[in-house]
Amino acid sequence: MPRTHQFSAGFQYQLAKNSVVDVSYVGNRTLAYSGNVNINLPGWDFAKQCDETSGGRTSVCNALVSNPFQGVAPLLGTNLYSSTTISAFNLNRPFPQFSDITKAGVNLGHLWYNGLQVTFNQRFSHGLILNASYVRSRQIEQWGWMNQYLGIPQRSPYGQDHPNVLKLSAAYDLPFGKGRTFTMGNNRILGLVLGGWQISPSIFVQNGERANLPANAVRLRNSSVKNIDWNQYQVRGWGNCVLNEDANGVVTPMAYSLKSGCSATDFSGYDWLAVQTIPGQQLSPTGAGDLRMKPFFDSNLALSKDFFVGERLRFRFRAEATNVLNHFNILTAKFSTNTNDANFGTVFPASTSSLDAPPRVIQLGLKASW
């Protein structure tokens, strides 16, 4: 049964007459949430012969053997009915007449969250309020499999983990109009146009999401790019000198690696080794990359004013601008993890959709109450 345990502890301290700081620890443990299991994989005694990380060769699994289902009437209309051969991997499945069989809703997932949350509030005179909050956190997820044959789950930092989050906000009553610093001689027209406005800016900053690592490659050395220039058309996250090990264990450089200047004979400077994997196995946990995508920066601005008509009718005008500084953010795009692609380890910021890199948006609203 899935379950979640949430707990926190903290204290609040008044630093001065109008300022308060709040420090809290927040924890969360989500246990046994839904995961998937492939119930139609061969046993490990056979599969390890195909696992290149255990000294096996995927050619063993890919080998074609005699098809015992050829001509079996219930399989009429399928490849098993007409084909003379079948792969050794499929023949060694518990139910060889089927491919993968996924059992969904299995309570395998776990999530651990620990966070330090600090908030500060300062109230000044003349209608100025400042707020600041900072969160330092760590989130670990266990979901999926590194090796389902051996029951080794995938456990790594959560892919959308943001360890540092800072938010600054303020609200300020502009000092013009009735009852404020500058009354403008109580001029009704000036008061209507300039008086009674409130401005509310905010800034939100956090780490970018973790870059995913390729599931079918072993990192030979740390080639992560330092101080990435996100203003480039094509942004590279790590080196593209990639070796490929085929189903028979033969290692050769990728063609795109040779074109980019990687050595054809000296493999000591290569960054990655791509190997053949088998179903139910991956080499790198999803979201475990030590490289992060572009940091997220968001700025918002709101301007509002109340207009009174008589004693009972009130209108509130509000103008809001999200991403007011029009900062280019990359929300979900990641470096390519396809080792067969010449763009491996890169991302094209200019090619991301507007939903992924939202532009400045301005909204106007008018609300009436009576």
Both tokens assigned to 209: 């999401």
- Whether the pLDDT of residue 111 is over 90: the answer is yes
**Residue pair 301/360 in contact by the 8 Å Cβ criterion:** no
pLDDT digits (tens, 9 = 90+) for 216-226: 999 999 999 99
Q: Mean pLDDT throughout 249-255?
A: 95
Q: Mean pLDDT throughout 137-142?
A: 93
**Residue pair 80/187 in contact by the 8 Å Cβ criterion:** no
Indicate the pLDDT class of residue 311, thresholds 50, 70 and 90.
Answer: confident
Question: What 3-state class would DSSP assign to 251?
Answer: strand
Q: What is the DSSP letter of 275?
A: -
**What predicted TM-score, i.e. pTM, was given to this entire model?**
0.83
Both tokens assigned to 29: 């443990």
Task: For the chain, give every domain's residue range.
Answer: 40-100
Indicate the pLDDT class of residue 189, thresholds 50, 70 and 90.
Answer: confident
Q: What is the distance between the alpha carbons of residues 289 and 298, in angstroms, rounded to a whole number?
A: 24
The pLDDT value given to residue 103 = 94
- The residue among 266, 282, 259 whose CA lies nearest residue 344 is 259
Q: What is the distance between the alpha carbons of residues 273 and 251, in angstroms, rounded to a whole number?
A: 9
Would you state the torsion angle of the CA atoms of residues 233, 234, 237, 239, taken in this order, to the nearest 10 degrees?
-140
Q: What is the DSSP letter of 258?
A: H
